Amino acid sequence: MTTPFGARLRAAMDARGPVCAGIDPHAALLGAWGLSDDVSGLERFAMTSVEALGPEVAVVKPQSAFFERHGSAGVAVLERVVAGCRELGALVLLDVKRGDIGTTAQGYADAYLDPRSPLAADAMTASPYLGFGSLEPMLATAERHGAGVFVLALTSNPEGPQFQHARTPDGGSVAGTVLAELAARNAGAEPWGSHGAVVGATIGRAPVSAEDLDVNGPLLVPGVGAQGGTAESVRAVFGDAVRHVVPSSSREILGAGPDVAALRAAARRTNEQFAALVR
């Protein structure tokens, strides 16, 4: 049987450090690298990032939207990014934030988690706002193939609290419900479960406790580095659950490009900042 994603992620973090490095080829970064905002520039940016980060970090997180905006040729580049990172030993978390019901949700699961798909990654991001149960096709497909799902719980964007902090009939918060569902799904897994929560590094006051954040699975924490999250602020937010944190950095690392050595050095610095925190 395929080793579960949670176990593979823990082993990769132990070997390479905790950081998840984003590959976000948006127009501003392409320009900063001196590249054209077209498929040629996209491919140069993406494959340089793969060369630099694939052998260095535990997890690489391509943002699908920045590839999709270039049409089918951009998606073809994304396929090469996924394959290239995995060949170099990094796990791939495909940032797609999909959320739908029934056969459509299953279609997304097949696209991103079934090994027969050219876009199959080790894990994907998902949105639970059609109800946590709507994610069942993605969760079940992930479990069948030893993959994982990271579910949005508490994000740092200013619009997030409108839904995530809202109270449910039992008096809890929507975010708390998502975390509780993940904890139940991961119950009993060793060293931890394969399904994680997305919790921003700069969420500030949140309607959950550090105990709620311990879902016996990974906590993907975007927003470190350029967006203001530090090792100290992450420790303050996550308390004892900090050992589950997978800090995610995109702009801070990618801003060091296009030099491959500089990109690797930036990733290494971020790893060093967080290694002691989550060990």
Secondary structure of 111-176 in HEC code, one letter for each residue: HHHCCCCCCCCCEEEECCCCCHHHHHHHHHHHHHHCCEEEEEEECCCCCCHHHHCCECCCCCEHHH
pLDDT at res. 209: 80
Domains along the sequence of the chain with CATH:
5-278 (3.20.20.70)
Q: How confident is the model at residue 2 (pLDDT cuts 50, 70, 90)?
A: confident
pLDDT at res. 187: 97
pLDDT at res. 86: 97
pLDDT at res. 204: 64
pLDDT digits (tens, 9 = 90+) for 195-243: 999 999 877 666 788 789 999 999 999 987 666 677 878 888 888 888 9
Residues 6+ apart with CB under 8 A from 235: 242, 277
Q: Which of 104, 48, 25, 24 is nearest to 264 (CA)?
A: 48
Catalytic residue positions, numbered: 97
Res 1 pLDDT > 60: no
16-20 mean pLDDT: 96
pLDDT at res. 211: 85
User: For residues 9 and 195, what is the distance between their CA atoms, to the nearest angstrom?
Assistant: 11
pLDDT digits (tens, 9 = 90+) for 100-136: 999 999 999 999 999 999 999 999 999 999 999 999 9
pLDDT at res. 279: 63
pLDDT at res. 30: 98
26-47 mean pLDDT: 98
Q: Which amino acid is at 100?
A: D
Q: Model's pTM, two decimal places?
A: 0.96
**Coil vs helix vs strand at 241:** helix
- Asked whether 216 and 241 are in contact (CB, 8 A), the reply is no
Residue with the larger pLDDT of the pair 207 and 54: 54
pLDDT at res. 15: 96
Q: How confident is the model at residue 270 (pLDDT cuts 50, 70, 90)?
A: very high
pLDDT digits (tens, 9 = 90+) for 140-193: 999 999 999 999 999 988 899 899 999 999 999 999 999 999 999 999 999 999
